[in-house]
Chains A and B, each alone.
Chain A
Amino acid sequence: MENRLAELRAEHQLSQAALAELLGVSRQTVISIERGRFDPSLPLAFTIARHFGTTIEDIFRP
């Protein structure tokens, strides 16, 4: 699944570690999502979308 996480993170000037801290997950989780190797669960996708003030479908595309 493609996503805009890296792009949004760069827009908000957040490091992977900082975003991971905000989301309550490991840095490896953020890395894996950005590379499209790990599809986050629905609760985590909602948390990410809420954090960036947007919707899940705006970040993740099948």
Chain B
Amino acid sequence: MGVTMRSIVQAWWRAAVLGLALGLVFGLLMASRNPGAPASVVVVVTAFTTWPVITVALQVLWFDRATTERDIAQGELGVEHAWFQEAAATAFATMIGGLLFLEGVGGALNVSWMAPVGLVHALVLGLGTFAGSYLWLRFAQR
């Protein structure tokens, strides 16, 4: 079956409507939490900026969950999934070890950019190791 505008609308309209409704609710919540800002602007901006994200999340995680689960199961068959798992395990171990190292050495030597460790250290160590490890596995297998 080909993908047409009509089939897209039929598949997505429920998520789009519910996404907009939830976006408006978030907007009202934001407006109530920020009494100093013009309420109508806060509601409209929040609703329309969160709408696409909420719509996609609802469609992928709820309305079309069967397709998502099928795609995930199919994706797990590939070598890329094995690389992903290996890279994630490497990144986790490196991040924990790296944070302990930075905190210990940075604290002992009183190096300001090393200790105390924070979110940036964790992100750089974790994401950097994950990306490097995944790319290494990918190119090593070529």
Residues of the B chain whose Cβ atoms lie less than 8 Å from the Cβ of A41: 76-77
Contact A32 B74 (CB under 8 A): no
Bound complex: CA A47 to CA B77 (Å): 11
Tell me how far the C-beta of B62 lies from the nearest C-beta in chain A, rounded to whole angstroms. Answer: 24
Q: How many pairs, one residue from A and one from B, have CB atoms within 8 Å of each other in the complex?
A: 35
The verdict on A37 contacting chain B, using a C-beta distance below 8 Å, is yes
* Residue of chain A at shortest CB distance from B77: A44
Chain B interface, DSSP helix/strand/loop, else mixed: helix
What is the total number of residues of chain B having a CB less than 8 Å from a CB of chain A? Answer: 9
**Residues of B91-142 contacting chain A, CB below 8 A:** 138, 141
Q: Which of A23, A28, A33, A35 contacts B80 (CB under 8 A)?
A: A28
Interface residues on A, range: 10 to 19
Interface residues of B (CB under 8 A from A): 74, 76-80, 82, 138, 141
Interface residues of A (CB under 8 A from B): 23-26, 28-29, 31-33, 35, 37-38, 40-41, 43-44, 47
- A-B pairs, top 8 by smallest CB distance, nearest first, are A32-B79, A29-B79, A38-B79, A44-B77, A29-B78, A25-B78, A26-B78, A24-B74
